[in-house]
Amino acid sequence: MQSDARLARDFELTALPESFAEGPFPVYRALLEHAPVKRFSDGSIMLSRWADLDRVYRDTTSFSSDKKVEFLPKFGRSPLYEHHTTSLVFNDPPLHTRVRKIMVGAMTPRALAAMEPGLIKLVDGLLERLAEKGEVDLIEDFAAAIPVEVIGNLFNIPHEERGPLRDWSLAILGALEPVLTGEQQERGNRSVTDFKAFLKEIADERRRNPGDPATDVLTRLINGNEGEQLSEVELLQNCIFILNAGHETTTNLIGNALFELTRWPDEKKRLQDDPELIITAVDEFLRFQSPNQLGNRMAVAPAEFHGEVIEPGTRIHLAIGAANRDPRQFPDPDRLNLSRKPNKHLAFAGGPHLCVGFSLAKMEGRIAISRFLKRFPGYRLTGMPQRTGRVRFRGFSHLPAVVQ
Ligand code: HEM
């Protein structure tokens, strides 16, 4: 068995052992303890401690989200490059601020409350179908089927046209993995091109027949904010980003939670005995198995962490999954504790780029997990759970189960 110090020393993000996708936590623990500033051979660094990530997320003057320089060698001048360098998440102000202001207005508590009855109906319909099948895949038949509809509703995309959204989203976000095959690049590029053409038709139609800006995110983005409008490319690429952002992440939240509940029977029983616990439980699932494990920034001013000087131009990987298990912030971090409070996890990042959809994602998690558990208290996994194999996004592609 490798010692923790060696595990930290030998860790390379571009040459990961297969075991990493299955269980990155021993490596995270080693980094937290022995290499809080981990340097990789390509000159980039990884930070893993909660306080360091919190600092980076808040300080947008020293740590930039702009990926134009970093992504050029990775993607060339391709559709993937245009997409990832135009979306708000990979930009600093002013583009970031403009798009974000328009978006947040569609996620008010009132807007979310208006979505809740539809979400309950959707989840109950899926539960009904699961009951009919008996032997199910908790990802395909449940966890992944929820966000695609929720996000489709946010943009009022016609139901019959939602089919390709999930595959496009998986291909485009998949292109952010640390190592990419040519095939993955090509799929990502094709998906951006197809997605853009698809959205252009919908946006043109929406300009002719605008929706209600209080609830229709596309109409909001078309209208702009205080006289400022997005260009056509900014509009389409940000729509693609928002449509993607809530897909795989929310699927992972629900899938990971249903998996963990089978591994922690006492916690499952607590939740069954006290359904109100779902509020803190969702945050604990997000902390314990964070759907988004890695973030990135670029140092644009000199900085120092634990005595190490970081030069401007250094790429910084932010190990969200590790920070959320940092014992300096979370007592007994490797224990799932559904009533954990406080729980200042970084699953949604923090600072000015804090996830716009965090309340929506938590509402989806709450409703999906609690209604599933109530309907199928004795569900059990059958066969081999299959992980997506990704390291940036942590979740399952298949979770075979019997529901009863
Ligand atoms: C469990 C589900 C989700 C997780 C774990 C998650 C996680 C994150 C994280 C970590 C970021 C920050 C990225 C960075 O700056 O490095 C982010 C940003 C973002 N997320 Fe989410 N997200 C989730 C669901 C959603 C949903 C449902 C939506 C929208 C409907 C959404 C929309 C966004 C947007 C627009 C941003 C960019 C914010 C900005 O750059 O200012 N997310 N998300």
Q: Which residues of 296-333 are buried (b: 16+ CB within 10 A; e: fewer)?
A: bbbbbeebebeeeebeeebbbbbbbbbbbbbeebbeeb
Asked whether residue 318 carries a pLDDT value surpassing 80, the answer given is yes
Say which residue, 107 or 291, is predicted with more confidence: 291
Q: Whose CA is nearest to atom 9 of ligand 1?
A: 348
Q: Is the pLDDT of residue 127 over 90?
A: yes
Residues in the chain, total: 404
Section 317-337 average pLDDT: 98
Nearest-CA residue for atom 27 of ligand 1: 246
In ligand 1, the atom with minimum distance to the C-alpha of 360 is 27
| Token pair for 263 | 């591994």
For residue 107, pLDDT over 90 is answered with no
Distances in Å between the alpha carbon of 294 and those of 159, 324, 350?
Answer: 32, 11, 13
- Answer yes or no: is the C-beta of 253 below 6 A from any ligand 1 atom: yes
Sheet holding 294-299, edge to edge: 37-39, 45-47, 315-319, 294-299, 63-64
DSSP reduced 3-state for 298 = strand
Q: In what order do the strands lie in the sheet with 380-381?
A: 135-137, 400-402, 380-381
* pLDDT tens, residue by residue, 220-278: 899 988 778 889 999 999 999 998 899 999 999 999 999 999 999 999 999 999 999 99
Looking at this protein, which amino acid is placed at residue 36? P
Measured from the CB, is residue 56 less than 6 Å from ligand 1?
no
Write out the DSSP string of 7-66. HHHH--TTS--THHHH--HHHHHHHHHH-SEEEPTTS-EEE--HHHHHHHHH-TTTEE--
Instruction: Say whether pLDDT at 1 is over 60.
Output: no
Kindly state the average pLDDT of the residues 70-99. Answer: 94
Mean pLDDT, residues 186-191 taken together: 96
**From 98, 320, 355, 393, mutation site for ligand 1 pocket: most ligand atoms within 8 A of C-beta:** 355
Go through the domains of the chain in sequence order and give each one's CATH number: 4-402 (1.10.630.10)
The token duo for 224 is 């702009």
End-to-end CA distance of the chain: 41
How much is the pLDDT for 358? 97
What is the percent of the chain with per-residue pLDDT over 90, rounded to a whole number?
Answer: 83
The amino acid occupying position 39 is R
319 pairs with which residues across the strands?
294
Say if ligand 1 is within 6 A of residue 24 CB. no
- Residues 337-352 pLDDT 10s: 999 999 999 999 999 9
H helices within 76-180, ranges in order?
Answer: 79-86, 95-104, 109-133, 145-154, 165-174
Atom of ligand 1 lying closest to residue 147 CA: 27
Per-residue pLDDT at 2 = 60
Among 94, 20, 53, 116, residue whose Cα is nearest residue 348: 53
Q: Is 295 in the pocket of ligand 1 (CB under 6 A)?
A: yes
Q: Report yes or no: 188 and 174 within 8 Å, Cβ to Cβ.
A: yes
> CA torsion 166→167→173→175, rounded to 10°?
180
What ligand 1 atom has the least distance to the C-alpha of 291? 5
- pLDDT tens track for 365-387: 999 999 999 999 999 999 899 99
- Among protein residues, the one whose CA lies closest to atom 19 of ligand 1: 355
CB 63 within 8 A of CB 328: no
- What is the structure's pLDDT at 204? 97
Instruction: Point out which residues pair with 37 in neighbouring strands.
Output: 47
pLDDT score at 357: 95
**What's the chain's average pLDDT?**
95
User: Is ligand 1 within 6 A of the CB of residue 321?
Assistant: no
79 pocket-lining for ligand 1 (C-beta < 6 Å): no
Query: Cα–Cα distance between 191 and 173 in angstroms, integer?
Result: 10
pLDDT digits (tens, 9 = 90+) for 131-183: 999 999 999 999 999 999 999 998 999 999 998 998 999 999 999 988 889 99
Does the structure show a pLDDT above 90 at 18?
Answer: no
Angle between helices 145-154 and 165-174 (to 10 degrees): 100
Least trusted range by pLDDT, from 91-100, 116-125, 135-144: 91-100
Model pLDDT, residue 260: 98
Would the pLDDT of 215 be above 90?
no
Mean pLDDT value across residues 96-120: 89
Contact in structure between 338 and 288 (CB atoms under 8 Å): no
